[in-house]
Amino acid sequence: MQANPRIAVVIDDLASVDPWRPRMIEVRGVAEVHATGGESIGQGFDPEMFRIKPKRIVAFGLDDANVFSMNARSV
């Protein structure tokens, strides 16, 4: 991340199997590396941490009304 701070994180999940309800969120942006601050999250966490300044967010299946709707926005 120090050499190339552009980053993408995808989290996907199944809300249920029957009926089939996949969902996901993707965040693209620029990472900020911090030498300290991670230990404030909780016991056992390393001090190093990073934060993502989002540039684009894509979400799928988070809206219960329409399971197969995709939402995207640039920030």
- Does 22 reside within a domain? yes
pLDDT of residue 46: 94
Residue pLDDT, tens place only, 60-74: 888 765 556 778 888
pLDDT of residue 65: 57
CA–CA separation, 49 and 38 (whole Å): 5
Residue pLDDT, tens place only, 26-42: 999 999 989 999 999 99
Predicted model pTM:
0.74
Residue range(s) defining the domain that contains residue 16: 6-74
- Does 25 reside within a domain? yes
- Does 18 reside within a domain? yes
- Does 24 reside within a domain? yes
- Does 1 reside within a domain? no
